[in-house]
Amino acid sequence: MITKYIAEKRSWLCLLAGMQMLILFVAFVDASIPFLPVLYIVLLNVLVCTLFVFFRYQKETRFYRTMEAWDQVYDLEAFREADSPFEHIVQDAVTLQTERYRRESAVNFRLLEEEKDDLLAWIHEVKTPLTAMQLMIERLPDETLQNQMMYEWLRIHHLLDQQLHQKRIPFMQNDLFIEHTALEPILNKEIRGLRTWCIPKGIGFDVELEAEEVLTDGKWLGFMLRQLLTNAVKYSEASDIVIQSREQDGHVVLMIKDEGKGISPKDLPRIFDKGFTSVLGRQEGAATGMGLYLTKQVAGPLLISLGVESEPGKGTAFTLTFPRENDFVKTGGSA
């Protein structure tokens, strides 16, 4: 701050220094003026000016130091009351701008909330004709056509489900109910939901649950498993998807392993990025780049650690490491 202050007052400091040099020059060239007394006066002036600048620095920079430390939120309480007229100009400008941004932010937040509510309402409305469509597809006499229609119906259903949960994720802390949850019913429900995709592709499931319960929210865990199982089925052919659970260091670890096409090593660090589609996903043309991203977003509030290992041509294994009860206590949660 001292450097900025000197730079700000540079013209005044140069003026003072120039005047002292001018006085010394006149005393030097004019023999009638004693030089030593003038030099003494000049040195005294320099001392007084230095002290003056030091005290003025403390006073004049106090307001700007608080402004520099301001975290640029809408709370102006941290601002020190302005003293000088120029400080009042700055304070008034910042206050007016902050109030304007606060009003705009409130309007934008309200519009965003309305858009979210409208979208959620629309998704719920669409589910009704989708359910009716499912019943109509199940009555089709042509089994081949029925399978094709159910495949596309399930894709639409999953895309709507992703949109529904994506809008809810920012507020999921208000919707969490952490408890000891049985894995088997959730897995069975998600596997049954994918049977339309699995049967034509010859995909089965090998489920071995040594650890039968985890500490989590069952609804949000179901969403996470839905994304991982959908990916496993999408990129597998005529093979079994292995689902295993075990206890490790006090944590329950759930593994979902497929024998599909795998993920390229260069794509592996980015698979949880929003909108990222791997080389394989772009070739397939059906990837949205949202499934794994949303899975990662949900895992955070649930304190679930996600891991992945993959080798091209040999498959992919996702692991979910669930928290212990003490982990929720430490973060202020409840179980």
CATH number of the domain bearing residue 227 = 3.30.565.10
Residue 237 burial class via C-beta count within 10 angstroms: exposed 0-12, middle 13-18, buried 19 and up: exposed
- Helix ranges, the chain (H): 2-8, 10-29, 35-60, 62-69, 85-138, 143-168, 183-193, 195-201, 218-234, 279-284, 291-299, 325-330
pLDDT value at 281 more than 80: no
In which order are the strands placed within the sheet that holds 305-311? 204-209, 240-248, 251-257, 315-321, 305-311
Cα 287 from Cα 22, distance rounded (Å): 78
Lowest model confidence (mean pLDDT) among 24-28, 208-212, 318-322: 24-28
Domain residue limits at 40:
2-99
319 and 200 belong to one structural domain: yes
216 and 295 belong to one structural domain: yes
**What is the average per-residue pLDDT within 6-14?**
82
Q: What is the pLDDT of residues 30-65, one digit of tens each?
A: 878 888 888 888 899 889 888 888 887 777 777 777
pLDDT in the model for residue 99: 83
Q: What is the pLDDT of residues 73-91, one digit of tens each?
A: 666 665 666 677 777 777 7
Cα 4 from Cα 54, distance rounded (Å): 14
Q: Which residue has the tokens 């071995």?
A: 208
Highest mean pLDDT, choosing among 109-118, 169-178, 192-201, 295-304: 295-304
Residues 6+ apart with CB under 8 A from 287: 277, 278, 281
Cα 18 from Cα 202, distance rounded (Å): 92
Residue 209: which H helix or E strand, with range?
Answer: strand 204-209
Q: Please report, rounded to a whole number, the percentage of residues in the chain having pLDDT higher than 70.
A: 90
pLDDT value at 334 more than 50: no
pLDDT in the model for residue 260: 87
pLDDT in the model for residue 308: 93
- The two beta strands, 251-257 and 315-321, are antiparallel
**What is the average per-residue pLDDT within 168-176?**
84
Number of structural domains the chain divides into = 2
Provide the pLDDT confidence category of residue 282 given band limits of 50, 70 and 90.
low
Residue of higher predicted confidence among 254 and 86: 254
148 and 36 belong to one structural domain: no
Write down the mean pLDDT value for the chain.
84
147 and 233 belong to one structural domain: yes
pLDDT in the model for residue 333: 46
316 and 227 belong to one structural domain: yes
Domain membership flag for residue 119: no
25 and 155 belong to one structural domain: no
User: Is residue 69 within 8 Å of residue 78, measured between CB atoms?
Assistant: yes
pLDDT in the model for residue 302: 92
Domain membership flag for residue 157: yes
Domain's final residue, options 99, 124, 152: 99
